[in-house]
Amino acid sequence: MSLRLVFCVAVLMLLAACAPVQRVPGSGTDSSASTTPKPTNHGRYQQQQDGAPLIRLDPATIADAMPRYEAIRTSGNVSPYIVNGKEYTLLEDHRRYKERGIASWYGTKFDGHATSNGEIYSLYEMTAAHRTLPIPVYVKVTNLRNGRTAVVRVNDRGPFHSDRIMDLSYAAAVKLGFSDQGTAPVEIEIIDTDNSAVVSGADATRYYLQVGAFKELNSATELQRNLSAGLGYPVLIASSGDHGKSLHRVRVGPFIDYYSAQAAKKVLKQRWSGKPHLVVEANDS
């Protein structure tokens, strides 16, 4: 092969390397796609934007949540709690709670993820999120634009936007007629399922305020004696474990409902500088 021929072949190969690559339809590469790698969300949620599901719901087929008594447990009910640097305190008595404001809804981004009390969120169930109501409670929601109503069960925290009072599931937003708008003016009103009105005796849920836990019984007895003087509520010691590994918990109570425990907490704060935490003993535990 002559040197001239070798030179021509080299030039042709160089030009071919510089030419644009033609994508072959059906080769598995989208010819319209960018070659820049797409950002990936490695956080809690796979989706970066929230949205509605592909399946459209018929509001006429969506049933309200059915209010029933449920014990208000510690899961999801830490008070106070902090989100984005702001502190929130749960309502001490929510029995006559009513509020007007803007409601929003959340959908596919959060579907299948845990709510504040550990349940799994489903955008097809009649649930809601609220910043300060205890979990779980039932709420009647009225869309003030069209008069539609829905009953939802609060099992999550949010929305953490100062201009909104409640986040509803997508199903609830459809039933209320604002899933296409994103937000709506609403009135929310608590549905009281008070423990003391439904259950009594051995089946009743009992609430306690635990103020301390000690390995030494003498330490527990001393705190019990100090708190009992003039408090106005029973103070007891609940002991568990074997000899040498016993734990003695000092508790105020029992109380028959969540409201009574919260009222006692206010009184206790006047006499004791510690932070009690709620203990719930329910027959369905």
Q: Report the CATH number that the domain containing residue 273 is assigned in CATH.
A: 3.30.70.1070
Give me the pLDDT at residue 199, please.
53
Nearest CA to 144 out of 96, 94, 95, 188 is that of 188
Instruction: Please tell me whether residues 245 and 163 are part of one structural domain.
Output: no
pLDDT-flagged residues of the chain (< 70)? 1-50, 194-203, 243-244, 284-285
Cα separation, 160 vs 199, in Å, equals: 35
Q: Domain boundary residue among 167, 193, 219?
A: 193
Give me the pLDDT at residue 201, please.
58
Give me the pLDDT at residue 209, please.
95
Q: For tokens 């510089």, what's the residue?
A: 18
Cα separation, 254 vs 285, in Å, equals: 16
**Which tokens in the block code for residue 202?**
């051995």
Instruction: Please tell me whether residues 181 and 82 are part of one structural domain.
Output: yes
- If one counts the domains in the chain, the total is 2
Enumerate residues 6+ apart whose C-beta is below 8 A from 209. 251, 252, 253, 261, 264, 265, 268, 276, 277, 278, 279
Instruction: Please tell me whether residues 184 and 227 are part of one structural domain.
Output: no
Give me the pLDDT at residue 26, please.
30
Instruction: Please tell me whether residues 67 and 176 are part of one structural domain.
Output: yes
Give me the pLDDT at residue 112, please.
86
Let me know: does 150 contact 107? Beta carbons within 8 Å: no
Instruction: Please tell me whether residues 264 and 178 are part of one structural domain.
Output: no
Give me the pLDDT at residue 19, please.
37
95 domain residue, yes or no: yes
Nearest CA to 238 out of 230, 247, 229 is that of 247
**Which tokens in the block code for residue 207?**
């609430």
3 domain residue, yes or no: no
Give me the pLDDT at residue 161, please.
83
Give me the pLDDT at residue 141, please.
98
Residue 225 lies in domain:
197-281
**Which tokens in the block code for residue 168?**
């509803």
Amino acid at 217: L
